[in-house]
Amino acid sequence: MVNLLEVLKKEIVPAEGCTEPIAVAYAVSLAAELLEEEITGIQLFLSGNIIKNAMGVGIPGTGQTGLPIAAALGAVIRRSHRKLEILSGLTAVELSQANAIIDRKLLAVELKDTPEKLYIEARVQSANHRATAVVAKEHTNIVLLEKDGIPINIQKDKGDCGEDEQLSPEDYAVSLEGIYEFVCTTAFTDLEFLLEGARMNKAISDEGLRGDYGLQVGKKMSQRSAVNLFGNDVANSVIAATAAASDARMDGSAMPVMTTAGSGNQGIAATLPVIKLAELMGKSDDMLARAIALSNLVTVHVKHYIGRLSPLCGSGIAGGVGANSGIIYLMGGSLDQIKHGIQNTIASLSGMICDGAKSTCALKISTATNAAIQAATLAMNNISPTDNDGVIFEKVEDTIRNMERLVQEGLAATDETILNIMLSKA
């Protein structure tokens, strides 16, 4: 039997920094903790998607970007028990030690020839020992841990509902009817924990609106000036608040975010439009928690078919579809109108590619949020595309399911092309 509350608790977890480079730091830390000697070398073997999503993103508390500093920090701080919050509490001494590892050229990175989209293999060397940690499929899912070639028993936290706990495929293939019924009938006390994530994501949004982070997409959209064509309306306030959180996160803010399906930007894209709209509409905590639950579960549902890491922008497409569902729910829409909204959003965003984690993610998220609002407006007027329109099918589940076909058949070489283009600039 599908346990959607368990899915929510597994897929909605806090993280500090972009999850791909942070997962690299986590893997390096796992291996480094097995050594008691000074580290003499770090070798990373990474899937293309990990490299693509870690090249240009800011690393919290460092003022630096990319894989080298993330990996070096993992070797220094050795706090793997913090998982995706491993960099929390980073000190100036630790940062200096990590930079020394980079300066000594102890780090080597290679592209791993693997069909696995999310693959991190960290080999850490000391004078007399070598330790290896492999994380795959999900950002904290350890598949191998060994010292000097001898496997180490991997201990799972008892009762842990974190990302590394595997759920069955049926938990992710649940129908929209099942999701909607869960959202409408589950006790508020069971969903109340989602409000902590709402507070966390709103805090980094507020920080993005205050500071000069990244491209300042959200901040500039929210400011009234002669060069700002956006009005002071509900839609623009929602878009600006959402983009601002991504501005701050991608530029290395040390503030945590509540992730969805392994991505902080997905968490931002799926929840902040709902959070901001609920605030502007004066909705209750009960209504907000249910809308966030719906948005997150729809996002996870779409991601099940797109893939954990993908040539398609999960934050824009899956997060946008999820946000659209939450927006319609807050507006009093029916299940049929939510289905209309999903069709409208996919029709608008299905071609958005992922070219890595970086400052322009805020632009994509702002575009997706705008599309979600537009799609919700049409849906509330009972308007949606038909099966004569492109990749849209008569049944919304078929539309979602065929996103997997689009990725696997139509975009099979896209990731490699994107990565080659990015690497050609180095």
* Domain at 260, CATH number: 1.10.4100.10
Q: What is the pLDDT of residue 286?
A: 98
Structural domain contains residue 79:
yes
Does a structural domain hold residue 158?
Answer: no
- CATH code of the domain in which 75 resides: 3.30.1330
Q: Which two tokens stand for residue 377?
A: 């407006």
* Nearest to 397, CA basis, from 178, 149, 143: 178
Average pLDDT along the chain: 93
pLDDT score of 199:
98
* 362 and 278 within one domain: yes
Could you tell me if 371 and 335 lie in one domain?
yes
Asked if residue 103 and residue 56 are part of one domain, the reply reads: yes
Q: Are residues 186 and 147 in the same domain?
A: no
Confidence of residue 49 (pLDDT cuts 50, 70, 90): very high
Other beta carbons within 10 Å of 185: 8
Q: How confident is the model at residue 232 (pLDDT cuts 50, 70, 90)?
A: confident
Is there a contact between 257 and 264 (Cβ–Cβ < 8 Å)? yes
pLDDT at 174 over 80: yes
pLDDT at 158 over 50: no
Question: Does a structural domain hold residue 163?
Answer: no
- Would residue 49 count as lying in a domain? yes
With beta carbons less than 8 A apart as the criterion, state whether 200 and 256 touch: yes
Lowest mean pLDDT among 73-87, 157-171, 405-419: 157-171
Mean pLDDT score, 393-409:
96
Q: How many structural domains is the chain composed of?
A: 2
For residues 141 and 309, give the distance between their C-alpha atoms in angstroms, rounded to a whole number.
14
Residues 220 and 100 in one domain: no
The mean pLDDT value for 408-422 works out to 93
**Would you give the distance in Å from CA 51 to the centre of its chain?**
15
Residue reference for tokens 């970086």? 358
225 pLDDT band (50/70/90 cuts)?
confident
Domain, as residue range, for 283? 172-423
* Range 378-393 average pLDDT: 97
Identify whether 192 is part of a domain. Answer: yes
Nearest to 320 by CA among 262, 370, 392: 370
Q: Is there a contact between 315 and 361 (Cβ–Cβ < 8 Å)?
A: yes
Structure confidence at residue 218 as a pLDDT band (50, 70, 90):
very high
Q: Write the pLDDT tens digit of every residue in 258-291.
A: 999 999 999 999 999 999 999 999 999 999 999 9
Question: Given CA atoms 170, 171, 172, 176 in this order, what sign does their dihedral have?
Answer: positive
Q: Who wins on pLDDT, 122 or 426?
A: 122
Q: Is the pLDDT of residue 164 over 80?
A: no
Would you state the pLDDT for residue 159?
42
Q: Is the same domain home to 216 and 290?
A: yes
pTM over 0.85: yes
Residue 3, domain member (yes or no): no
Same-domain check for residues 144 and 177: no
Domain contains 159: no
The alpha-carbon radius of gyration of the chain (Å, integer) is: 21
Distance, CA of 40 to CA of 278 (rounded, Å): 52
Same domain, 187 and 304: yes
